[in-house]
Amino acid sequence: MREHATTGDGLLTALHVMERMVTTGRSLQELASVMTRLPQVLVNVPDVDKARCDDAEVVAAVAAAEADLAGAGRVLLRPSGTEPLVRVMVEAPTAEQAATVAGSLADVVRTRLSL
């Protein structure tokens, strides 16, 4: 929804979902049934320079993790807006895979961005 806002916004998202419900005549349960929930792991990495998340090796590690997941999951690495840390979130087909990928990325962030 980048044409409406530059950041995530729960209220805006809710309005778009309600619009979809009205235009399609489908219930929220019907619309949500097409979504597959995946195990998710979140690792907070403290004591790093969160302003350097664009470090080439960190970016390459994220790209490699996304390639390993081959479209069957997702990776989000971002500096916290409220705390002095970097958040590493991974969704994957299994909890074990999500934990492994998130742990590996957290290690790269620790190594490359340590203070």
Query: What is the domain extent for residue 11?
Result: 1-35
| Tokens linked to 29 | 């349960």
pLDDT at 3: 80
Is the pLDDT at 5 greater than 90, yes or no? no
Please name which of 79, 53, 54, 76 lies closest in space to residue 65, comparing C-alpha atoms.
76
Q: Are residues 19 and 40 in the same domain?
A: no
Computed over every residue of the chain, the mean pLDDT equals 94
pLDDT at 9: 80
pLDDT at 56: 97
How do residues 23-79 score in pLDDT, each as one tens digit? 999 999 999 999 889 999 999 999 999 999 999 999 999 999 999 999 999 999 999
Residue 96: which CATH number?
3.30.310.50
Q: Are residues 25 and 54 in the same domain?
A: no
Which residues, 6+ apart, have CB-to-CB distance to 80 below 8 Å?
Answer: 44, 50, 86, 87
Distance (Å, whole) CA 81 – CA 40: 20
Distance (Å, whole) CA 34 – CA 78: 27
Looking at the structure of the chain, the number of domains it has is 2
